[in-house]
Structure 1
């Protein structure tokens, strides 16, 4: 893990020119496999202890070694997220630029192998260690939003939606989770209102996520009002007609949830 972390830092420091011989895809997959292996070994160790106990009562605890691996994996994942991008664009994104033109063809990140690897790794981390997954979402994604890189904003939006669902599904109490959910939907709201077409479109598409609807929007009227108000404002005031129409359609769908 130390070697991977050093390589991740190298990728972050040399974002514009990836060092020869370093493959982010391969490293992300390796981190994912290490997390899974560590969790498997810990689970087997706990099961062996459980089998040896006469009373059949044992509470599985995350060891210091497990925490060390998950913490290192979280740092690596943060470096991968912050060094990955398809192209950077200006913060003044109201009107298309050459950067936007070259990026628009790859706006759908579903087919990007690195994005899929990063999302899968983040989901694995949140599954085996919800506390580390929550800290990753708060410290890497929400507090350090990549306002000047469109492709990274789309990646972060995708990660936030996946982590919200994964963390909400974990049977584990986390005292920071409620505030993180509020902050996450505030960020989604800001992205819905983004002047950049791709960011606004990606954020609007999250309104169709059935898991987000049932786990959050239907259970918290404040979150539902936050999203529906942003969609309503977009339908009236966004500079792009396509986003206006898309927001109007999503707002009509939100009315069924109110």
Structure 2
């Protein structure tokens, strides 16, 4: 097998990529994309003109896969740390067969995930965040509930992508587990917001007055969510 460095350059919408030609005895022409480079694998007897035809015919397919790999690489770079209650924790990958995460001081240790396994890392960290959310939200709810004229019902976690919390007519409250990445005052604001719905199932002036009674700094917290809320979706 012989390999030629940068046999040609293929222009793509996201930037040009090098194409490396690998000659190998095989029946079909293969294309492999890895580490930002494209390999064109073909039998030594196939002409370069034919190879260029195949390359151009698969240009859109190549562009999609190159872009996907670049995005995954960027995602992995973004997943080297976790925002936990507003403080940044380094993520440390460790060996082991069982996929789990644990907090060791100011480091989140993640076991059973191979380097580069972005989806696996996201899954393990999200499970850990949900477990912490169940404990934290229940504790915060207990502190707020003593100040509420009407007691809340069941507390559960939400995975909604457009709402941070909800409150039913029966008084059941759902809070988005991703809030565990935000500073604690942001969690308290969302909780106060939903508790205010126990008395006012609307967003009237009376509702906002009740929210302010429970959490006076609600305007700054709401502004934080509008500006920073999208950053809470790194892990799912």
TM-score higher than 0.5 here?
no
If each structure's strand is expressed as a fraction of its own residues, which one has the higher value? 2
- Pick 1 or 2: higher relative contact order, CA cutoff 8 A, min separation 6: 1
